[in-house]
Structure 1
Amino acid sequence: MPNDTGVTKRVGILISGRGSNMMALVEAGIDVALVASDKPDAAGLAWARDHGLSTFALSPKGIGKPAYEAALNVALGDAEVEVIALAGYMRLLSDAFVAAWRGRIVNIHPSLLPKYKGLDTHARAIAAGDAEAGCSVHVVTEELDAGEVLGQELVPILPGDDADALAARVLIAEHRLYPRILAEFVRR
């Protein structure tokens, strides 16, 4: 996406599964330089390859987090990535990795941060009796789900909702929110 000077920032997308948020970003026209995964069999990688995108896949199992992140960093550098978008990436990044990319990693999270950091966000919102849930795009910092919130979208919690029903509606909101916020972010 061009910024005010017409320069395009190249995005690397990190996924761990089917990659539905990655698909939404690609379909919105984000300049994707690389799709990377910690799971070589992630379904989203096949979709990315089928759409002509460069991919990188490596499991950290057996080599450890430092070696995995070093290889990931090389792949991101080789692809000339300038911004990283976490899209269903289910690994915690090390403090050293986050520091090396400070201010250039964003994430989509399925809650209205600062509420419900971490996992099981939908069940937690329902159990708390909240009237609404939603999703947030935030800058990644060393503290879990604590960086600057760049945008949010509210999703009502309906009577009779369970975590799966709420998750399905929040995912639709994520697909609307993430492309818009990431497009704004890469123009900074």
Structure 2
Amino acid sequence: MLSIVVLISGGGSNLRALLEATADGAFPARIVAVGADTEAPGLDHAEQFGVPSFTVFPSGFPNRGDWGDELLAQIQQWSPDLVVCAGFMRILPPRVVAALSPNLINTHPALLPLFPGAHAVRDALAAGARETGVTVHIVDEGVDTGPTLVQRTVPVLPGDTEHVLQERIKTIERDLLVQTVLDIATGRTDLAAIHQSNRSATTP
């Protein structure tokens, strides 16, 4: 049984999808805790499902590194097999990434390497893209630069606003995240092997 800590910053729609999936006794993964960096509304989902939660506010620490160390300590006390950044809007410090990688994944609302960063949907519209999508990837020390696990395209339709396109992406994103976690839990996706292959490919 794969144990998971999920990190969020907002409403937690991806978290909700994972909670619903893992509530099924046949699903080979369980969420053991949910963490946040803000008073995220999505923490209500954890409470509804009886999952413990914790919040580590960056404002309570003198620097990003100290905040990251406390976040890591909170995560590690649950000894998760996998950490999922599901709408977690803060870049993790290098020490956190080093301690958790490659069992640290993120969802991003674009077809990386296109449109990295916090405004991917807005950037796709501004660029006149005809399609965008969702990427699930291993987190590294960069901004949305880690090895890609899976992608799915989403068309950009005439008249799309940022909100409309984002909501259409979210529908795909939730399903793709649940399937990715299932694939990791069943061994169909080997994070260590993908991580090592990527390192080998980028090492001179």
**TM-score (norm: length of structure 1):** 0.90
Deviation (angstroms), 1:186: 3.2
SS at match of 1:158: coil
String of CA shifts for 1:74-125, please: whole Å, max 9, x gaps.
2222212121000010111011110111201000000011110112211221
Task: Tell me what 1:51 maps to.
Answer: 49
Number of paired residues? 180
Q: CA contact under 8 A between 2:15 and 2:45: conserved in structure 1?
A: no
Q: Which consecutive unaligned segments of at least 5 residues does structure 1 have?
A: 1-7
Root-mean-square deviation (CA, aligned residues, Å) is 1.3
**TM-score (norm: length of structure 2):** 0.84
More helix by percentage: 2
Question: How far apart, in 1, do the equivalents of 2:121 and 2:12 lie?
Answer: 19
Task: Tell me what 1:72 maps to.
Answer: 71
- Spell out the pairing of 1:83-162 with structure 2 (5 A cutoff): 83-162=82-161
SS at match of 2:2: coil
- Runs of 4 or more, structure 1, over 6 Å off, are none
Higher relative contact order (CA 8 A, sep 6+): 1
Question: How far apart, in 2, do the equivalents of 1:73 and 1:127 lie?
Answer: 36
Question: How far apart, in 1, do the equivalents of 2:126 and 2:70 lie?
Answer: 41
- TM-aligned CA distance change 1:133 to 1:48, over 3 Å: same
Question: How far apart, in 1, do the equivalents of 2:70 and 2:37 lie?
Answer: 11
**Among residues 9, 17, 25, which one is paired with 2:18 in the alignment?**
25
SS at match of 2:6: strand
Q: Which consecutive unaligned segments of at least 5 residues does structure 2 have?
A: 23-28, 188-204
Question: How far apart, in 1, do the equivalents of 2:65 and 2:122 lie?
Answer: 33
Question: How far apart, in 1, do the equivalents of 2:7 and 2:108 lie?
Answer: 14
